[in-house]
Structure formats: C-alpha cells, structure tokens
Amino acid sequence: MAKKGLKIGVDLGTMNTLVYIDGHGVIFNEPSMVAFDRNTNKLIAAGSEASQMAGKTHRHIRLVKPMEGGVVSELDATGSLLKYVLGRVNTIDVDFKRSTLLICYPTAISKIEMNAMIDLAKRMGVYDVFMEKEIKAGALGAGIDIFSPDAAMVVDIGGGTTDIGILSLGDIVVSDSIRTAGNYLDSEIEKFVKQKYQLLIGSQTSEKIKIEIGTLKKDIPSDKEITVGGRDLKTGLPRKITLKQSDITHIFEEAFERIENIIRKVLMAAPPEISSDIYKKGIVINGGGALIDGIKEHMEHSLKLKVSIAENPLTSIVVGSKLLLRNRGNYLVKPID
C-alpha cells in the first residue's frame, strides 16, 4: 500500500514539544530536550528520556534545551529535536514529500531562526513547510473564532515567554511578548530558597514547588506545605526543608505584575473598537501558566476585565494547528470543516 501525505502540526515549545496529525490527533507530547555524546556529538536521547537526565549528567553527556526563553538557543539541537519528532511521526505510514508541516513558534523567534527551521524540515524531506505564531494557533485551539470581526484577546503563559495577542478577522492585530513565564518562576524560587535557607535546589525541584504550592490567591485558607531536598551551601551535604505557600506568594505576585503591565501595553495600542470588544468578551488565558492557583481571580481584580481559562491550556496550540493546516495560507476566510 502506497504511503500518503499527511497534515502535521508541531508546537515547538520551551518546555514541551507536541505533534498533531490530521486524522490521528496528538501523537507526541514530551519535554523539549535533547542529549548528546560530548565526544561524538551524536544524539543519545530526546524528549522524556533526555528530561530524566536533567541535573544528573556526567562530563560525557551534554544536555540541551533547544528552546530557551522563547527563542532558539541552539539551532543544531533544534534540528535534532525536529528530526527525532519526525522520526516518531514516521511510525505512521507517511510520505513526507507529499505532506504539509506547520511549525508553531513563540513571538520572540527571529525571521532568521524561522527560515533556518523551515530549511531543516525541508532537508529532512518535508517540502511543504510553513510557520505560524503560537498565539494564533492557541486561540483557535481554545475555541476562539479568530475569523470573526469581534476581536479576542489571548494571553499564552508558556515556559519561556508570555505571549499576548489581540486577534480579529483571522489574524493578529496587536501583540507583544515578555520573558516572564514558567521558567522565570522556577528560577526565582531557586533564588529564594538559596537566599533564605542556604540550600541549592535544581530546576525539577523548583518546578515541583511551583506546581504544588504556587498560588496567586490573596487569602490562603490553608497554608499548604511541601518538603524538598537539596545541597546545603555551608556543609555541602544533602538537606531537606519545608516550604509554605505563603513563603513564595511574593514571587508570583511580582511576576504577574510584569505580565499585567504588558497586557495593559497591548490594550493601549489597540484601536478603540477593538477595546470595546475586549471589554465585552474579556481575556482568555492559555499555556501552562493558566493552571496556577488563583490566576483568574487575581487577573480579574488587577485588570478589571473578565478572565477565562482555556479548556485545554496545555494542548490548545497544537490542537489549533488543525484549523491552520486546513486553511493553509488564507486567514481571511474561515476554514470549512
């Protein structure tokens, strides 16, 4: 039986890479991470397998996050990740030469980096390649009709960046980005624990703290606790501490003050008619940051606007690629299902 061309959507995120294939759904959702042999520079692991090595490698292994802060940190590593992902897609009987590949990217990526990724995909045998901003794909995946004349505002809080966009008539009207997102929160938690408790913790531990006790609520009914381990700065020995929610609330409040200031900046740049639409419809929060405890109430109080959380904030970008693939190259007309 002859292989067939497929429509493939890739969300190349700072934290996770996801792949959607028309007719098959989301077939890949793993960390955006690759591991190389330092001596041969050959790929030895990618995705979940590479992520498990974080903080535990020796001098013969080089661990790389291809996307850092919403930009390409290392183009060769990005190429290796794409090759690995497409290799996983190849388990489905696919003819890449007859397929279409959409790569969704954060706002901060440069034109040079975009062209380089397109060239990488073409060298791997996919000739029909195009790119779209994550903010647009995420809006579609969240169920927003971006083809309507009624404007919609989306705030995508990812791992490396928070992307803010106002969309109308099939495209982005105003947008901006800030490198205050999930990784920033992790880094600030690490700094806080180091300064207050003289304890060094790794990125996986700080992320666990963020997920389990991170909150934006003003009044915490029960001050949750978490016990974590690290290396004592004074003795160099392993040690454990117990953190409370109230210990790290200031980190989240400071980060979201930055994000909310960028949201205000985008709103101030919008035409008056669009501002009227946003006042009526409110803001949709997307990305992993949408899962932070108390985010809806906090942002509504700060921005004085209605805020809603996307139904599938972690996968909405790659799900949105479905419609973008069907509507290839024409965003002024709503695609036919």
Which of 66-70, 148-152, 211-215 shows the lowest mean pLDDT across its residues?
Answer: 66-70
What mean pLDDT is predicted for residues 139-168? 93
pLDDT over 60 at 178, yes or no: yes
Side-chain-facing half-sphere of 227: CA atoms under 13 Å: 2
Q: Taking residues 219-225, what's their average pLDDT?
A: 83
The most confident of the ranges 124-128, 195-199, 272-276, 333-337 is 195-199
pLDDT at 285: 97
pLDDT at 293: 93
- What is the average pLDDT across 139-149? 91
Per-residue pLDDT tens over the stretch 271-311: 999 999 999 999 999 999 999 999 999 999 999 999 999 99
Across the chain, mean pLDDT equals 89
pLDDT at position 210? 96
Burial 205-232, CB ≥16 within 10 A → b, else e: bbbbbbbebbbbeeeeeeeeebebebee
Longest C-alpha distance within the chain, in Å? Answer: 66
Place of tokens 């392993």: 238
Residue 334: pLDDT band by 50, 70, 90 thresholds? low
Domains and CATH numbers, the chain: 7-137+317-326 (3.30.420.40), 147-179+262-310 (3.30.420.40), 182-250 (3.90.640.10)
Query: Helix 203-213 and helix 182-197: axis angle, to 10°?
Result: 100
Strands of the chain, DSSP E:
7-12, 16-21, 25-31, 34-37, 43-46, 61-64, 67-68, 71-72, 100-105, 128-133, 152-157, 162-168, 171-178, 199-200, 225-232, 238-244, 283-286, 307-309
Name the 3-class secondary structure at 35. strand
In the structure, what pLDDT confidence band is assigned to residue 114 with cuts at 50, 70 and 90?
confident
82-96, 166-180, 244-258, range with the lowest pLDDT: 82-96
Q: Report the pLDDT value the prediction gives residue 3, as an integer from 0 to 100.
A: 72
With a pLDDT cut of 70, the percent of the chain lying above it is: 96
Q: pLDDT tens-digit profile of 54-109?
A: 888 888 999 988 887 666 777 788 888 888 887 777 777 778 888 899 999 887 77
Structure tokens given for 23 = 């007719």
The candidate with the shortest Cα–Cα distance to 148, out of 336, 334, 290, is: 334
In this predicted structure, the answer to whether residue 332 has a pLDDT above a threshold of 60 is no
pLDDT at residue 55 in the model: 82
pLDDT at position 218 is 83
Pick 86 or 320 by higher pLDDT.
320
Overall average pLDDT of the 228-233 stretch: 96
Q: What is the pLDDT of residue 330?
A: 55
- Transcribe 110-148 into DSSP letters: -HHHHHHHHHHHHHTT--EEEEEEHHHHHHHHTT--TTS
Report whether pLDDT(242) > 80: yes
Cα–Cα dist 144/141, whole Å: 7
pLDDT of residue 26: 86
